Amino acid sequence: MSCAPVQIDNSMTAELPPDLSIDYHLDLLATGVVLLDADLHIRALNLSAENLLEVSASRALGSPLEELLEESNEWYPLLNQALTENYSMVRRAIPLTTRTGQERTVDVTLSPIAGKVESRCLLVELTMVDRLQAISRDESEWQAQATLKEIMKGVAHEVKNPLGGIRGAAQLLSGELANPNLQEYTDIIISEVDRLHTLVDRMLGPRERLESEPTNIHEVTEHVRQLIEAEAKGELAIERDYDPSLPDFLADAGQLTQAVLNLVRNARQACGDAGLITLRTRVLRQFTLGGSRHKLVCALQVNDDGPGVPEDLLPRLFLPMVTGNAKGTGLGLSIAQRIANQHGGLIQVRSSPGDTCFTMLIPMET
Ligand SMILES: Nc1ncnc2c1ncn2[C@@H]1O[C@H](COP(=O)(O)OP(=O)(O)O)[C@@H](O)[C@H]1O
Ligand SMILES: [Mg+2]
């Protein structure tokens, strides 16, 4: 079995000198790129992939991947899953041992190239990372989040106390005002105090305790889909690509709804009502999250074809008050991430113009 030949539109490149060919560009990438066919034979690879796997292209082309990589590598099941289920995935800091015994750590992006299962190909992107660096990167993110939460708790307390006083005083004042026209002003004070109060509560994030019950994730996604479609007054269509075999699992359905709603609202803001939003669910098996291995993990993706997340926001995207929108609060994603964390999961993002994907991963304790 082999991939259909890749069609490259030469009309765009015909005028270019040979050293500007697409192959030449692929060889300039720091990322290793490997194209596998449905039997996991190598169909193409760039220079970085040759270096990373310690093999020459002439030797690698047409060879089965297992000739280049130890079979103990934990990502064979991932490759097979991505191929059979036609599902893109990103995994960070995965160990990889070459046949020459070199140990590496890579971030892996798997993108199946659609087609029938037997003729499907898999594009594998490999970025070398230092495992320790990757772990400490995650840990320092957690530390930063924890410190920030402590600061916010303190600030919230200091702000909410006087707010109660201001609201009470405004109500008393409103009752004493002889001129009813002046009440407009006390009403403004009261409604602004209430707005600040809600904002502070939202900054603090979702309640700490989950009210878990057996939850059907598709009831959650369908609820959100109907809400957003109603908000868009029928102008927006949200596509669904659900895995119906996904079992119910213990979760706080109300909180998950909030998290998914935040992701889908952002997607709608990004791509507008003419855009395409897709909700996708899948089951991942034997998946490691936050250091513990889970038998089953629910992956829920919110995909949109909008312009993508601004690059400068990406590293800080899940921190509170980070927004690219003049009217935004920057709280939506931090709240969604907190909810996922409380469920023992997390939200990941990958984004490029025309293709942004937020993936919520939640372990399923059925
Ligand atoms: N699907 C998306 N496409 C492009 N940008 C996004 C997307 N989701 C989030 N963002 C960016 O992330 C920022 C933060 O989102 P969020 O935390 O929900 O706060 P807010 O929506 O209030 O700005 C957004 O302002 C936007 O710039
Ligand atoms: Mg938002």
Per-residue confidence (pLDDT) for residue 6, from 0 to 100: 44
Q: Which residue has the higher pLDDT, 261 or 234?
A: 261
Nearest CA to ligand 1 atom 26: 324
Residues 95, 131 contacting (CB under 8 angstroms): yes
Q: What is the pLDDT of residues 15-30, one digit of tens each?
A: 444 455 666 677 777 7
Mean pLDDT score, 218-233: 93
Average pLDDT, rounded, for the chain: 83
Window from 267-276, 280-289, 302-311 with minimum mean pLDDT: 280-289
Residue 285, strand partner residues: 296
Closest ligand (CA of 267): 1
Q: Which residue has the higher pLDDT, 70 or 56?
A: 56
Per-residue confidence (pLDDT) for residue 21, from 0 to 100: 60
> How far, in Å, CA of 266 to CA of 313, rounded?
14
> How far, in Å, CA of 250 to CA of 365, rounded?
6
Select from 267, 259, 269, 235 the least CA-distant residue to 340. 259
Q: Which atom of ligand 1 is nearest to the CA of 262?
A: 18
Percent of the chain whose predicted confidence (pLDDT) is above 90: 37
Mean pLDDT score, 236-255: 93
Mean pLDDT score, 295-312: 94
* 86 CB within 6 A, ligand 1: no
Helix (H) or strand (E) holding 363: strand 355-363
Q: Of all residues in the chain, what percent are helix, strand and coil, respectively (each to 5)?
A: 45, 25, 30
Per-residue confidence (pLDDT) for residue 35, from 0 to 100: 93
* 309 CB within 6 A, ligand 1: yes
Going edge to edge, which strands form the sheet with 292-304? Answer: 238-241, 277-289, 292-304, 355-363, 346-352
> How far, in Å, CA of 227 to CA of 140, rounded?
36
List of residues 6+ apart from 79 with CB closer than 8 A: 36, 40, 65, 110, 122, 124
* 313 CB within 6 A, ligand 1: yes
Per-residue confidence (pLDDT) for residue 9, from 0 to 100: 44
Q: Where are the domains of the chain?
A: 18-129, 134-204, 213-363
Per-residue confidence (pLDDT) for residue 24, from 0 to 100: 65
Per-residue confidence (pLDDT) for residue 138, from 0 to 100: 57
Q: Ligand 2 centroid vs 203 CA: distance in angstroms?
A: 13
Mean pLDDT score, 248-269: 95
Q: Which atom of ligand 1 is nearest to the CA of 302?
A: 1
Give residue 364's pLDDT band: very low, low, confident or very high (50, 70, 90).
Answer: very high
Give residue 362's pLDDT band: very low, low, confident or very high (50, 70, 90).
Answer: very high
Bridge pairing between strands 355-363 and 346-352: antiparallel
Query: CATH topology of 18-129 equal to that of 213-363?
Result: no
> How far, in Å, CA of 347 to CA of 299, rounded?
9
Per-residue confidence (pLDDT) for residue 131, from 0 to 100: 53
* 352 CB within 6 A, ligand 1: no
User: Which CATH number applies to 213-363?
Assistant: 3.30.565.10
Q: Ligand 1 centroid vs 288 CA: distance in angstroms?
A: 27
For domain 18-129, give the CATH superfamily.
PAS domain (3.30.450.20)
Q: What is the reported pTM?
A: 0.60
Question: Ligand 2 (ion): which residues have CB within 5 A?
Answer: 266, 332
Q: Ligand 2 centroid vs 209 CA: distance in angstroms?
A: 23
- pLDDT of residue 179 exceeding 80, the answer is yes
Nearest CA to ligand 1 atom 11: 309
Q: What is the pLDDT of residues 116-167, one digit of tens each?
A: 767 789 999 998 876 555 555 556 666 666 677 777 778 888 888 889 999 9
> How far, in Å, CA of 306 to CA of 272, rounded?
8
* 262 CB within 6 A, ligand 1: yes
Question: What tokens does 17 get?
Answer: 């000198």
Q: What is the pLDDT of residues 4-63, one digit of tens each?
A: 444 444 444 444 444 556 666 777 777 889 999 988 999 999 888 888 888 888 889 999
Q: Ligand 1 centroid vs 224 CA: distance in angstroms?
A: 17
> How far, in Å, CA of 153 to CA of 155, rounded?
6
Per-residue confidence (pLDDT) for residue 301, from 0 to 100: 95
List of residues 6+ apart from 258 with CB closer than 8 A: 206, 335, 336, 339
Nearest CA to ligand 1 atom 4: 309
